[in-house]
């Protein structure tokens, strides 16, 4: 096995929760490529592959190392052009950048606020200390205060997904008839919430909830490999 | 001339302001296709081309009638494949639907609130009556009350564009190195505001303001054909 996916892990290494790693898990499944997962705690990332990256996912594909979920998706499409495309052409590669930034700026801070203590509690002792220190410094508040403010995010969360909800009236995936990388981008954010806090933010019959379940079922149901928290 | 673009107009028929018509103006310019503009007031739309449409833009291309700015863009790419693509492939066609719904659900209501009286004041008497009645019924308030509430939208407007602002750190257009239809989608919303209320909602050095000016300059500066209100 020459393909390795370095993936963020807590104490239970099977409980994959990083949104960015989930984007890559789905990308590899989309391409039908086998790999071995190497679980890595926050404080162990700097040491992997001779200091190749400060963040995961990191993909080793034979001699090649690629970091960043978007760059990995681009790499996979370029390297395995005979397998199903993740972007559907040059226009898709560009527009997926908009959707990446929409997901990041609209959904990620809300998930962080809602799930921050749950994420903390998944980690081992050294990683907990790192996580608390780095997040409290970045967000300017204690984890407990961020989590308290996070409760207000729960009610407004569904509304943030209105562009996706409206789009689902005309097609079943952001990729059109089937999923493409931007589906995995948004899936990653919601799967992050599902696997950490497990907070219910969508009604069962919400078109976005139905789309999310379609994504969980993709590629042999790889998204179900981790249960909801 | 067999190509006609039916475009929304007020008393000054040269002051094109409909966001959806602007998407089509830019699409036609992108493809390098000539056409004649047929200005139509709100209350005259139902009578054009034998009742072909309830909304504009409506494009007549020889024997063919196409309505809806997105469908027109798809039609133009299919009919004129040798001219520059508006989508850059199937993935781009699908992802542009997400961006259309993002623009519509995030920007359009804010522009409506900010500019509603200015739009009203651009119209002739019959159209003013129709516009007031239909918008007051749809929004459940008088135009004057909507406009008063719209003042609160001005301050928050720039923040709504954060996904685009972040994306512009990696590429100059939503289409990548050059513009594609989703650029014209978002351009249409901001051009609507520029040509009606003329409200300043972005700082001059905001990356989104710089992108908007790049869009105004495209295709011989067709976006400049109407001055800011």
Mean pLDDT of A200-212: 97
pLDDT, tens digit (0-9, with 9 covering 90-100), for B25-83: 999 999 999 999 999 999 999 999 999 999 999 999 999 999 999 999 999 999 999 99
CB contact under 8 A, A94 and B166: no
Label residue B2 by pLDDT band (50, 70, 90). confident
pTM: 0.97
Residue A123 resides in a domain? yes
The answer for residues whose C-beta is within 8 angstroms of residue A204's C-beta and 6 or more apart is none
DSSP at A49: G
* Spatial distance between the Cα atoms of A12 and A185, rounded to a whole number of angstroms: 24
A201 and A128 both lie in a single domain:
yes
Look up residue B188 and give its two tokens: 């249409």
Q: Which of A9, A4, A147, A110 is CA-nearest to residue A65?
A: A4
The answer for residues whose C-beta is within 8 angstroms of residue A58's C-beta and 6 or more apart is A5, A6, A48, A49, A52, A65, A66, A67
Domain with residue B15: its CATH number is 3.40.30.10
Measured between beta carbons, the chain B residues lying within 8 angstroms of A170 are: 97
Which residue range(s) make up the domain with B198? 90-222
CB contact under 8 A, A176 and B104: no
**DSSP readout, B89-146?**
SHHHHHHHHHHHHHHIIIIIHHHHHHHHHHHHHHS-HHHHHHHHHHHHHHHTS-HHHH
Label residue A2 by pLDDT band (50, 70, 90). confident
CB contact under 8 A, B176 and A88: no
* Spatial distance between the Cα atoms of B112 and B147, rounded to a whole number of angstroms: 9
A202 and A115 both lie in a single domain:
yes
Flag whether pLDDT at B1 surpasses 80.
no
How far apart are the CA of B156 and the nearest CA of chain A, in angstroms?
15
B127 and B147 both lie in a single domain:
yes
Residue A228 resides in a domain? no
B98 and B208 both lie in a single domain:
yes
Residue B84 resides in a domain? no
pLDDT, tens digit (0-9, with 9 covering 90-100), for A65-114: 999 999 999 999 999 999 999 999 999 999 999 999 999 999 999 999 99
Residue A226 resides in a domain? no
Structurally, chain A folds into a number of domains equal to: 2
Residue A227 resides in a domain? no
Could you say which of A43, A59, A79 is where a domain stops?
A: A79
pLDDT, tens digit (0-9, with 9 covering 90-100), for B125-146: 999 999 999 999 999 999 999 9
Look up residue A193 and give its two tokens: 């919430």
A64 and A109 both lie in a single domain:
no
A94 and A35 both lie in a single domain:
no
A46 and A122 both lie in a single domain:
no
Measured between beta carbons, the chain A residues lying within 8 angstroms of B101 are: 162-164, 166-167
pLDDT, tens digit (0-9, with 9 covering 90-100), for B76-119: 999 999 999 999 999 999 999 999 999 999 999 999 999 999 99
Across the interface, which of B85, B163, B173 has its CB nearest the CB of A106? B163
A96 and A208 both lie in a single domain:
yes
Could you say which of B28, B49, B79 is where a domain stops?
A: B79
Residue B149 resides in a domain? yes
Question: What's the 3-state SS for B29-96?
Answer: HHHCCCCEEEEECHHHHHHHHHCCCCCCCEEEECCEEEECHHHHHHHHHHHCCCCCCCCCCHHHHHHH
CB contact under 8 A, A98 and B176: no
What are the C-alpha distances in Å from A159 to residues A72, A78, A198, A214?
30, 36, 18, 20
Q: Which of B75, B82, B77 is CA-nearest to residue B61?
A: B75
Domain with residue A200: its CATH number is 1.20.1050.10
Mean pLDDT of A110-134: 97
Structure confidence at residue A155 (pLDDT): 95
Residue B227 resides in a domain? no
Q: Which of A51, A42, A68 is CA-nearest to residue A132?
A: A42
Determine the 3-state secondary structure of A189 from DSSP. helix
Could you say which of A40, A59, A79 is where a domain stops?
A: A79
CB contact under 8 A, A101 and B164: yes
CB B187 within 8 A of CB B18: no
What is the enclosing helix (H) or strand (E) of A116? helix A109-122
CB B188 within 8 A of CB B30: no
- Give the length of chain B: 229
CB contact under 8 A, A163 and B87: no
Flag whether pLDDT at B148 surpasses 90.
yes
A115 and A147 both lie in a single domain:
yes
A112 and A184 both lie in a single domain:
yes
Task: Give the mutation candidate from A70, A98, A106 for the B interface (greatest B CB count, under 10 A).
Answer: A98
* Spatial distance between the Cα atoms of B48 and B57, rounded to a whole number of angstroms: 11
B41 and B10 both lie in a single domain:
yes
Q: What is the mean pLDDT of chain B?
A: 97
Determine the 3-state secondary structure of A183 from DSSP. helix
Residue B30 resides in a domain? yes
How far apart are the CA of B2 and the nearest CA of chain A, in angstroms?
30
CB contact under 8 A, A92 and B97: no
* Spatial distance between the Cα atoms of B191 and B193, rounded to a whole number of angstroms: 5
Please identify which residue in the block is written with the tokens 């139905």.
A210
Flag whether pLDDT at A1 surpasses 90.
no
Please identify which residue in the block is written with the tokens 């039916």.
B6
Structure confidence at residue A76 (pLDDT): 98
Mean pLDDT of A187-195: 98
Q: State the pairing for strand pair B58-61/A3-8.
A: unpaired
ipTM of predicted complex: 0.97
pLDDT, tens digit (0-9, with 9 covering 90-100), for A166-190: 999 999 999 999 999 999 999 999 9
Give ∠ CA A113-A114-A116 in degrees, rounded to 5: 65
Maximum Cα interatomic distance, chain B, rounded to a whole number of Å = 49
Query: Taking the C-alpha atoms of B165, B169, B172 and B173 in order, what is their torsion angle to the nearest 10 degrees?
Result: -50
B119 and B69 both lie in a single domain:
no
Distance of CA B189 to the CA centre of its chain: 5
Distance of CA B102 to the CA centre of its chain: 14
pLDDT, tens digit (0-9, with 9 covering 90-100), for A28-66: 999 999 999 999 999 999 999 999 999 999 999 999 999
- Nearest residue in chain B measured CA to CA from A180: B91
């Amino acid at each position: 096995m020459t393909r390795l996916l370095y993936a963020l892990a807590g104490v239970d290494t099977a409980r994959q929760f990083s949104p960015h790693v989930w984007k890559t898990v789905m990308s590899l499944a989309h391409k039908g490529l086998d790999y071995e997962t190497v679980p890595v705690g926050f404080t162990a990332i700097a040491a992997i592959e001779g200091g190749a990256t400060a963040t995961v996912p990191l993909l080793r594909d034979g001699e090649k190392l690629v970091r960043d979920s978007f760059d990995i998706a681009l790499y996979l499409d370029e390297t395995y052009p005979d397998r199903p495309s993740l972007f559907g052409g040059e226009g898709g590669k560009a527009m997926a950048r908009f959707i990446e930034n929409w997901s990041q700026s609209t959904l990620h801070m809300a998930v962080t606020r809602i799930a921050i203590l749950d994420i903390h509690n998944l980690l081992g002792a050294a990683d907990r200390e790192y996580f608390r220190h780095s997040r409290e410094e970045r967000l300017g508040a204690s984890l407990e205060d961020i989590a308290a403010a996070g409760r207000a995010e729960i009610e407004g969360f569904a509304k943030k997904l209105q562009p996706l909800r409206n789009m689902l009236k005309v097609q079943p995936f952001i990729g059109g008839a089937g999923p493409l990388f931007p589906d995995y981008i948004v899936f990653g954010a919601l799967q992050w919430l599902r696997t950490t806090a497990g907070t219910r933010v969508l009604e069962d019959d919400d078109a976005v909830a139905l789309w999310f379940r379609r994504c969980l079922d993709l590629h042999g149901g790889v998204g179900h490999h981790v249960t909801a928290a």
